[in-house]
Amino acid sequence: MKQWRLWLGILISTGCLFLAIRGVDVMLLRQTLRGVQVPYLLLALLLSPWLALLRAVRWQGLLDPVTAASTQGLFHVLNIGYLLNNFLPFRLGDFLRAYFCAELGQCSAVGVLSTIVVERFADTLVIVLLLLALVPAVALPQQVLRGMLIAGAAAVTGLLLLLAARQRRTSVLARLQSLSARVPLCSRLRLADIFAAATDGFEAIARPRRALRVVGLSLAIWLSAALQFELIIRGMHLAVAPIAGLLVLCVTSLGMIIPSSPGYVGVFEYLTVVSLSLLGIGQDAALGTALVLHASLYLSTLVLGLLSMWIQGYGYSHLRAAWRQSQLGS
């Protein structure tokens, strides 16, 4: 089952990469890459620890009902998870960071995973809202608008379902416990325990003040990421409106829903070229920008991830144990 998903992702990535590079003038591409202004790239890279810190603070708020993990510990776990997502298929880095967090906070991995689900829905909702804000300034293609509306509807529906599960927690839990008492299989599967742990992770969206805090931090995260993208784009000598970074960020982030190879190679490049073409940038300059953007993100993720692994003392054996756990849970 997983094998065909992996090959489908690789096929889609290959196709997107072909579309991104088809018809590119190699000389103009090299000229674009040679014109990179390093100070802008350095400024953009310096924003990466700030982004990771914001994500750790948000995650800590979501995890409050599950475990009392420190912001510092979550900062390192997030960095490791994002690093592994760049090299493993199916976003297995998220499963691994749930395992690391459960180990760190001595709590249920299911409860941690449920907070990651909330995190993803919140991110999708904020991205869609930011894209909607760009509609008056950019003529978005129908495919992007359609995908934006579908993603937004899915995020809202998902959050409402999680909220309903949390609000009906007591009655559902009682039914599952009753069922487990009568059916040995349900007892062995520990359905009641899994449901209880999962709904603990939905607590943040059940309280208006916490939910607003999650949305506010999500907005701060994505605006900071947009600034990072904008700095790199400015470093490429592109004469575009200041919304370029936000546009590329939102379109490429929504594109991560599409199955692809690990690290979104090909998909990221193609969507960046499409986004910049909406602002009048030619394919050669747009592809050069996409390559520099992607390489910068890889570099920052690699440095932060390896540094966090060293600080936490995670070696090969630790990662291998976590990998086995993720294989069982994915």
CB 270 within 8 A of CB 19: yes
Measured CA to CA, the distance from residue 203 to residue 299 in angstroms comes to 35
The DSSP H or E segment spanning 258 is none
Task: Report pLDDT for 60.
Answer: 93
CA-wise closest residue to 225 among 107, 49, 97: 49
Is 329 in contact with 109 (CB distance < 8 Å)?
yes
* Maximum C-alpha span of the chain: 72
CA distance 282 to 279: 9
Spatial CB neighbours of 50, under 8 Å, sequence gap ≥ 6? 224
Residue ranges in the chain assigned as alpha helix (H): 2-21, 26-34, 38-63, 71-85, 92-105, 109-134, 142-167, 169-182, 184-189, 191-200, 203-206, 208-234, 244-255, 267-277, 283-312, 316-329
Return the number of other C-beta atoms located less than 10 Å from residue 7's C-beta.
12
In angstroms, rounded to a whole number, what is the distance separating the alpha carbons of residues 303 and 14? 27
What residue type is assigned to position 29 of the chain? L
Q: In this structure, what token pair is assigned to residue 326?
A: 């993720």
The answer to whether residues 55 and 301 touch, using CB atoms and an 8 Å cutoff, is: no
Q: What is the pLDDT of residue 4?
A: 67
CA distance 114 to 66: 10
Q: What is the pLDDT of residue 2?
A: 58
Residue ranges of the chain with per-residue pLDDT less than 70: 1-5, 186, 189, 323, 325-330
The pLDDT of residue 1 = 46
